[in-house]
Structure formats: structure tokens, C-alpha cells
Amino acid sequence: MMGQIFTELLELVETKYGYEIVDQLLSNSKLHSGGSYTAIGTYNHIELLILVKNLSELVHIPINELVRDFGEAIFIKLILSHPQILGGISDSFELLSKIDSYIHVEVGKLYPRAQLPHFKYDQISDNHVHLHYRSTRPFASFAEGLLLGCGQYFNEKFIITRLLSADSSEMNVTFDIVRQQKALIHG
Ligand code: HEM
């Protein structure tokens, strides 16, 4: 998994909980890499899962909630650090329709070692889509957070629910997404 993901996570933990928690987290986690991440390195995604599990114990917030919040916060950072990738996309659902066919393809060219999930886009109506996530790794909550961040980026609210089926899991899930313009949201 890309180092940028790890450096952003530790930065966010420091901003939200302070550097003592970062210190404690790294010393509790006994990571193979030693926890000295660089943005351009590549690390085992298991380390991310260990960090989040230990953070959850330190701050008493469920793992899935932490991973989702992290995804939500990192979306804008991914966009700002790769401005060329968004070029020409001006609509949130257009972006969702292009994750698999364009965005992650470009990401894969920039970072040949990136391991990327698959998305299937299914438009139900103007403001309603189904997005099916499938990965070899259990990051559905991270995807959900990125989706929330995407809505915010376009000044919209995404109402996201998971369509559960017998084989849904953190590696395989369909998101039902309804978008609302922020100006139209009351209360
Ligand atoms: C709402 C839109 C997006 C969603 C839902 C999404 C989803 C994901 C997920 C869930 C992962 C974790 C890997 C996995 O699950 O197997 C991932 C990885 C990644 N995505 Fe996206 N993504 C989105 C947009 C973007 C954009 C706009 C960029 C860059 C401009 C980007 C760059 C990356 C990178 C660099 C990784 C890390 C790959 C690795 O560590 O090996 N994504 N994405």
C-alpha cells in the first residue's frame, strides 16, 4: 500500500488526537517497517489494519468508523496531490463512473506497485447510483469515506447505504448512493 496513505493517516491522528497518541500507537503496534513511512515508499496493507485496530483501542472508536473518517479526510488530499487526474471532471457522478475506467488506471501508471480495487457503476436515475466495490483487501469502509469526501468536494451530500446480500463483506459490497445539493438540504 502506498506510503502516502500511511503518512496522511499519521498526520490526521496527530491533528485529531495529538502526537502522544501517534507515539503510543507506533510503539504499541510493533510494525515490520518500524513505522517510519515515506510518502513514496510501499508498505504492507496489513500494517494499516494493525495501526487502525490499535488506534481503535486507544481512542475507543470502532475500527470501521475510524477507517471511514480517514477515507473522508484523505479524498481532498488525493485530489490536491494529483490535480491532473481530475482534469475535465466537473460532476460527482461522472467521477464515480470513471474510478475504474480512468482514475485508478492513471493512478496505476503513476504507481505501478499500487493495488487497486474494482468498481462497477450503475446509474439508477439523475441523482441515484449503485456502486459495486470489490477488492482483494477489506477496505469497503475506506471506500465509503472516500465517497463521502467526494460528495463534499462537489458541495453535495451523499446519502450512502450498503445493499446487503449473502456475499457482502468489507471486500465486496454495493453502495446505494443518493446525492443532494447542499443548498437544497434543510435542517
Ligand atoms: C470516490 C472516488 C474514489 C474511491 C471510492 C476510491 C477507492 C479506493 C479504495 C477503496 C482504495 C483502497 C484499496 C482497496 O480497496 O483495495 C483506493 C486506493 C487508492 N486510490 Fe482511490 N478511490 C477514489 C478516487 C481516487 C482518486 C481521485 C485518486 C487520485 C487522484 C485515487 C487514488 C488512489 C490511490 C493512490 C490509492 C492507493 C493504492 C495503494 O495504496 O496501493 N483514488 N481507492
pTM of the model: 0.94
41: domain range? Answer: 3-61
Q: Is 91 in the same domain as 28?
A: no
Q: Is 26 in the same domain as 41?
A: yes
Beta bridge partners of 118: 134
User: What local confidence, expressed as pLDDT, does residue 105 receive?
Assistant: 96
Look up residue 33 and give its three cell numbers.
517497517
pLDDT-based confidence at 87, cuts 50/70/90?
confident
Ligand 1 binding pocket, CB closer than 6 Å = 1-2, 5, 78-79, 82, 85, 99, 103-104, 107, 114-117, 135, 137, 139, 142-143, 146-147, 150
- Residues 70 and 144: their CA atoms lie apart, in Å, by 10
Q: Is 24 in the same domain as 89?
A: no
Give nearest CA residue, ligand 1 atom 3. 146
Give the domain CATH number at 151: 3.90.1520.10
Q: Is 134 in the same domain as 55?
A: no
Beta bridge partners of 166: none
Write down which residue in 42, 61, 80 finishes a domain.
Answer: 61
Write down which residue in 61, 90, 106 finishes a domain.
Answer: 61
**pLDDT tens across 9-20, in order?**
999 999 999 999
Those residues whose C-beta lies under 8 Å from the C-beta of residue 176, and which sit 6 or more positions away, are 128, 130, 160, 161, 162, 163
User: What local confidence, expressed as pLDDT, does residue 85 receive?
Assistant: 93
pLDDT-based confidence at 187, cuts 50/70/90?
low
Domain count, the chain: 2
Give nearest CA residue, ligand 1 atom 5. 143
Write down which residue in 19, 36, 61 finishes a domain.
Answer: 61
Q: Are 139 and 170 in contact (CB under 8 A)?
A: yes
Q: Is 72 in the same domain as 161?
A: yes
User: What local confidence, expressed as pLDDT, does residue 88 receive?
Assistant: 86
Q: Is 53 in the same domain as 86?
A: no
Going from the Cα of 187 to the center of ligand 1, the distance in angstroms, rounded, reads 32
Q: Which of 31, 5, 4 is nearest to 142 (CA)?
A: 5
Q: Is 135 in the same domain as 97?
A: yes
Q: Cite the DSSP H helix spans in the chain.
A: 3-17, 19-29, 45-59, 63-81, 83-86, 92-97, 104-110, 140-153
